């Protein structure tokens, strides 16, 4: 062996051996999350800096996809932590025995925000941040298009808002599902769906991913977006000209984190959650690109200027609305499927009839016509109709048909119901369009 080859070999061998030893000594903490990469990356970097013996691996999955993944891997779970915004997803996992009990040490976090528990009372998951449904808008876009200020959901249904609004599919976004469920509980099943259809009739588009909405608002693709407040806070923190408002009939709920049952590294999972709930961990939520609201009230003493303090806000429309997580959990999949079959997949017919009715309203405002007004009202009634009521939505029959449902594993009963609801929507929107067209002709 040449001297040079020997020197290279003798120098490299210890390095390779050292790297191998370090790799063996490091523990791996596996996290599945639907939260934005900016947030998970910030916590990963901070935690690994404090714990150099732990390597944090993060899988980014949508809420529904994450729930499905945990179900499919439960026999030999490789995941330690589930981390997401939607509280009803945690209730689903808890009900299926996929979460382990974990009660963090005393962190100064109150039991509730308003009437809503911050941590699971049974100890299966903990809140780490707070968020509420919000309407976000691009200030420059609003000025350029001479659009009005908004205060609540009804404002998004105004004729002037046509083609200026967007939201995500609740079946693809846990945060949007939470917003939809909040509206249904605040307004009631019948009136809630009527409002959602009125608002969605004005939509420029319904995106397949939740981040498509704040991205579209910040880029000026559309003016208004249905989001959770942290999406607006993060965009504003990044320097975009955006503002947001919490509608009065909404609620604030925790984004949660939980330990996966039979995960391979329980001790590291517990350590990660306790760091997240510590003063230093909560302070990360204030970073401009993260833009979340802490669950520790004492954190707001050092909050950046302009950050809302959720503990100082009266939630639920002045106390008249309490979010029922049990009701939400029971109809989780049904709400998503109904929204898709009646709205997401029927968006263009819904937009067409909505546009016609806006035109009718404008004509009637200048020259009243009783017959045309009656036809327009009948058209709106046809749009608002639902294929079943709230009681049936929570029935055992529906729950069985949609339990654990996903696109790859549809049972015959679920497929049958989806086809039935799609036909219902097509027929009613077609009827509404005929009525609206007749009203337009009479209105001149």
When pLDDT is averaged across residues 343-358 and rounded to a whole number, the result is: 98
Asked if residue 113 lies in contact with residue 134, where contact means CB atoms within 8 angstroms, the answer is no
Asked if residue 295 lies in contact with residue 257, where contact means CB atoms within 8 angstroms, the answer is no
Q: What is the DSSP string of 359-391?
A: HHHHHHHHS--HHHHHHHHHHHHHHH--SS-HH
Q: Which of these ranges, 103-117, 151-165, 223-237, 411-425, has the smallest mean pLDDT?
A: 103-117
Domain co-membership, 306 together with 406: no
- Domain extent for 97: 28-130+253-312
* 5-19, 202-216, 315-329, 339-353: range with highest mean pLDDT: 339-353
Residue 130 dihedral angles phi and psi, to the nearest 5°: -115, 150
Domain co-membership, 303 together with 337: no
Q: 396 falls in which pLDDT band (50, 70, 90)? A: confident
- Residue 80 falls within a domain, yes or no? yes
Three-state DSSP class for residue 165? strand
Domain co-membership, 297 together with 428: no
| pLDDT for 81 | 98
| pLDDT for 409 | 52
When pLDDT is averaged across residues 152-168 and rounded to a whole number, the result is: 97
| pLDDT for 95 | 92
Tokens of 438: 């007749």
Burial profile 375-409: b = 16 or more Cβ within 10 angstroms, e = fewer: bbebbbebbbbbbbebeebebeebeebbeebeeee
Domains: count for the chain: 2
- Residue 205 falls within a domain, yes or no? no
Task: List, in sequence order, every residue forming a beta bridge with 205; answer none if it has no partner.
Answer: 166
- Residue 291 falls within a domain, yes or no? yes
Share of the chain above pLDDT 90, in %: 66
DSSP letter at 58 equals E
- Residue 359 falls within a domain, yes or no? yes
| pLDDT for 2 | 38
Tokens of 331: 């109809």
- Residue 162 falls within a domain, yes or no? no
How far is 185 from 98, CA to CA, in rounded Å?
Answer: 27
Q: 107 falls in which pLDDT band (50, 70, 90)? A: confident
How far is 320 from 406, CA to CA, in rounded Å?
Answer: 35
Q: 3 falls in which pLDDT band (50, 70, 90)? A: very low
Give the CATH number for residue 300: 3.40.190.10
Helix (H) / strand (E) element for 219: namely helix 212-219
How far is 147 from 233, CA to CA, in rounded Å?
Answer: 22
Angle between helical axes of 87-95 and 332-342 (0-180°, round to 10)? 130
Domain co-membership, 266 together with 397: no
How far is 227 from 407, CA to CA, in rounded Å?
Answer: 25
Asked if residue 186 lies in contact with residue 351, where contact means CB atoms within 8 angstroms, the answer is no
Query: Taking 90 as the threshold, does the pLDDT of residue 12 lie above it?
Result: no
- Residue 189 falls within a domain, yes or no? no
């Amino acid at each position: 062996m040449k001297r040079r080859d020997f020197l290279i070999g003798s120098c490299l061998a210890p390095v390779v051996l050292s790297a191998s030893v370090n790799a063996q000594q490091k523990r791996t903490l596996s996290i599945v999350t639907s939260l934005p990469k900016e947030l998970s990356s910030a916590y990963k970097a901070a935690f690994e800096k404090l714990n150099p013996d732990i390597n944090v691996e993060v899988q980014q999955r949508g809420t529904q996809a994450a729930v499905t993944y945990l179900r499919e891997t439960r026999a030999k779970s490789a995941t330690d932590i589930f981390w997401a915004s939607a509280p009803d997803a945690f209730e689903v996992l808890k009900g299926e025995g996929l979460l382990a009990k974990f009660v963090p040490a005393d962190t100064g976090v109150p039991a509730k925000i308003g009437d809503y528990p911050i941590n699971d009372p049974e100890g299966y998951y903990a809140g780490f941040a707070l968020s509420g449904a919000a309407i976000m808008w691009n200030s420059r876009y609003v000025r350029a298009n001479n659009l009005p200020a908004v205060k609540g959901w009804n404002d998004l249904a105004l004729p002037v808002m046509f083609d200026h609004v967007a939201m995500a599919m609740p079946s693809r976004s846990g945060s949007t599902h939470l917003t939809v469920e909040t509206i249904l509980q605040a307004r009631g099943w019948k009136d809630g769906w009527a409002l959602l259809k009125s608002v969605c009739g004005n939509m420029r588009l319904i995106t397949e991913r939740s981040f498509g909405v704040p991205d579209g608002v910040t880029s000026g693709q559309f003016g208004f977006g249905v989001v959770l407040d942290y999406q607006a806070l993060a965009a504003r923190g990044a320097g975009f000209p955006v503002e947001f408002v919490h509608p009065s009939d909404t609620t604030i709920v925790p984004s949660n984190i939980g330990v996966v049952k039979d995960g391979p590294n329980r001790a590291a999972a517990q350590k990660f959650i306790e760091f997240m709930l510590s003063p230093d961990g909560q302070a990360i939520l204030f970073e401009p690109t993260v833009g979340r609201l802490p669950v520790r009230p004492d954190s707001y003493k050092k909050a950046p200027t302009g950050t809302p303090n959720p503990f100082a806000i009266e939630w639920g429309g002045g106390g008249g609305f309490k979010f029922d997580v049990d009701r939400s959990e029971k109809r989780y999949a049904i709400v998503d499927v109904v929204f898709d079959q009646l709205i997401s997949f029927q968006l263009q017919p819904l937009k067409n009839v909505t546009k016609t009715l806006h035109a009718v309203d404008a004509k009637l405002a200048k020259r009243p016509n009783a017959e045309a007004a009656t036809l327009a009202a009948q058209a709106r009634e046809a749009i608002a109709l639902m294929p079943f009521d709230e009681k049936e939505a929570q029935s055992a029959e529906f729950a069985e048909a949609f339990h654990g449902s996903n696109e790859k594993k549809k049972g015959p009963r679920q497929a049958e119901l989806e086809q039935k609801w799609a036909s219902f929507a097509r027929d009613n929107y077609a009827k509404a369009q005929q009525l609206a067209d007749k009203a337009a002709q009479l209105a001149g």
